[in-house]
Amino acid sequence: MVAGGGVSVLSGAGLSTESGIPDYRGPTGRARKAEPMTYQRFVGSARARQRYWARSHVGWRQIGSARPNDGHRAVAELERLGLIAGIVTQNVDGLHQAAGARRVIELHGGLDRVVCLSCRERTPRTELERRLGAANADWDASGRINPDGDAVLDDEQVEGFRVVDCESCGGLLKPDVIFFGENVPRPRVDECFALVAGARALLVLGSSLTVRSGLRFVDKAAALGIPIAIVNQGPTRGDADAALTLDAPLGPTLTELTTLLQHPSPASA
């Protein structure tokens, strides 16, 4: 399926677990009970923002230092070989780009950027981390990392953490990601649909497709008669529409696929 080229990729959290970032529903996520921040709580409560930024500040130590794994590198290599037309990722970790992939649509945004909710200025997360570190020089905490990139902290740990606002206008700062209760911008969704609709095949990597946000692209491909292949650890909501499903670890599987396509044997050709 991939050998013919023109493949669009839909990737999820399962692709990044080998980089040390937990997923939601796969093997690393089932033991965790993460409670994602909602947009309404974030904008409506100073206490919620304090809790979010304290947890995210700690979590960024791991997320910000994460490196692409073999799966990310294999996807980037398949794109370099001209077999992948583009990637829609549900992940916010930026690891596709760090691995060298070029056409990446971040469906849910990226944690490496911060946006002001008043003036809409976007700034690097590294700059915010510098400011948060300076404002909380005497504060320190640690906790288990959640899939959203924050850490599990108790109320006592959060107490005393200082939040900083936009340097340009004093507005509220938010990570440039889509929170629950917030809509993905329509132009971004349309771009994703166009990529999927124009592809010869759709390859789903590391997503259970539990959330409608990703499943809709599988539904689109199925409606158009575009072949679908899914590689994931565990079942997915898209399995019934897939021509091929494979329950396997992403890194070794994609590395083997890339090697095979770079050096095809007579039998596979």
**Sheet of strand 109-116, all strands in order from the earlier edge strand to the far edge:** 122-124, 109-116, 173-177
pLDDT at 269: 36
Angle at 149 between CA 13 and CA 229, to 5 degrees: 5
The answer to whether 44 is annotated as binding is: no
Q: What is the DSSP string of 72-100?
A: HHHHHHHHHTT-EEEEEE---S-HHHHTT
The answer to whether 166 is annotated as binding is: yes
The answer to whether 206 is annotated as binding is: yes
Q: Are 254 and 71 in contact (CB under 8 A)?
A: yes
Assign 266 a pLDDT band (cuts: 50, 70, 90). Answer: low
> Any idea which of 61-65, 92-96, 142-146, 176-180 has the lowest mean pLDDT?
142-146
Active site (catalytic) residues? 108
pLDDT at 252: 97
The answer to whether 116 is annotated as binding is: yes
Assign 210 a pLDDT band (cuts: 50, 70, 90). Answer: very high
Q: Mind listing the pLDDT tens digit for each residue in 40-83? A: 999 999 999 999 999 999 999 889 999 999 999 999 999 999 99
Assign 25 a pLDDT band (cuts: 50, 70, 90). Answer: low
Q: Are 49 and 172 in contact (CB under 8 A)?
A: yes
Q: Mind listing the pLDDT tens digit for each residue in 124-142? A: 999 999 999 999 999 988 7
Q: Are 217 and 90 in contact (CB under 8 A)?
A: no
The answer to whether 29 is annotated as binding is: yes
Q: Mind listing the pLDDT tens digit for each residue in 218-249? A: 999 999 999 999 999 999 999 999 999 999 99
CATH numbers and ranges of domains, the chain: 7-262 (3.40.50.1220)
The answer to whether 90 is annotated as binding is: yes
Give the mean model confidence (pLDDT) for residues 180-197. 96
Q: What's the pTM?
A: 0.90
Pairing of strands 109-116, 173-177: antiparallel
The answer to whether 21 is annotated as binding is: yes
Identify the H or E element spanning 47: helix 46-63
pLDDT at 253: 98
pLDDT at 152: 83
